[in-house]
Amino acid sequence: MKRYKSVIFDFNGTLVFDTANHDRAWKIITSKYREKPFSDEELEKNIHGRTNKAIFEYITGRELNAAEVDKFSTEKELIYQKLCREDKNFRLIRGAEDFLNYLRDNKIPRTIATASNRMNVDFYVEMLHLERWFDLDKIVYDDGTLEGKPSPDIYEKAAKILQTKPEDCIVFEDAILGIESASRAGIGKIIAVVGDKSKQLSGEEKFGVKERIENFSDFERNKLLFDI
């Protein structure tokens, strides 16, 4: 049986169920900058897992420079962060802390690979104290240099940072674009996280996903064999 060496987590919709807050923020923004807010279908097909640059270029219908992306992103993320601060359920999902403690205590390499920008990563560290489990310098985020999911860039970079071959990594993902990204990067095992009821996932089987979990108490840890 295959033994794995490292774990890579997507963040939004995977370690926290915040899709509703993101979607609400996007609808507020799109109500301002175009005639109508995003539809649920648009959110699923064109938004979840993509970088802010790609999303705002989709909204505006033109290429944006770095200053424009930063301006639009700051406006949207301040709305999103306000919604999260007001959300009493904004926390790591069930079983996540216990699983992260297990990985840390067994010295299993791990990181986060997220389409979120640095502004939101800093917010998550502040709110959720991610430094308890992750080397913050190893978190892969949208820094403007990587092509967004479904490009394999983000998972290739995460595996490289962990000094692990992609085929020796496990990825936890909730979005079809992220699952495609991990598959294209050659990730050895992809587990779909489907507990965020504000969104639906389908079609992951064509990317080799054979396991779905609703939270991190929802699977047998002994199925994940690590070199420890």
Assessment of whether the complete model's pTM goes beyond 0.85: yes
pLDDT at 226 over 70: no
Q: What is the pLDDT of residues 38-92, one digit of tens each?
A: 988 888 777 877 889 999 999 999 999 999 999 999 999 999 999 999 999 999 9
Mean of pLDDT values over 196-216: 82
Cβ count within 10 A of residue 26: 21
Contact in structure between 122 and 142 (CB atoms under 8 Å): no
More confident residue, 181 or 224: 181
Would you state the pLDDT for residue 203? 75
Domains of the chain: 6-17+90-223 (3.40.50.1000), 19-86 (1.10.150)
* pLDDT reported for residue 35: 81
Query: What pLDDT does residue 197 have?
Result: 65
HEC sequence for the chain: CCCECEEEECCECCCECCHHHHHHHHHHHHHHHCCCCCCHHHHHHHHCCCCHHHHHHHHHCCCCCHHHHHHHHHHHHHHHHHHHHHCCCCCECCCHHHHHHHHHHCCCCEEEEEEEEHHHHHHHHHHHCHHHCCCHHHCEEECCCCCCCCCCHHHHHHHHHCCCCHHHEEEEECCHHHHHHHHHCCCCEEEEECCCCCCCCCCHHHHCCCEEECCCCCCCHHHCCECC
Taking every pair of Cα atoms in the chain, the longest distance, rounded to a whole number of angstroms, is 55
Query: How confident is residue 126, by pLDDT bands cut at 50, 70 and 90?
Result: very high
205 versus 77: the higher-pLDDT residue is 77
**pLDDT tops 80 at residue 188:** yes
The whole-number average pLDDT for the span 155-173 is 97
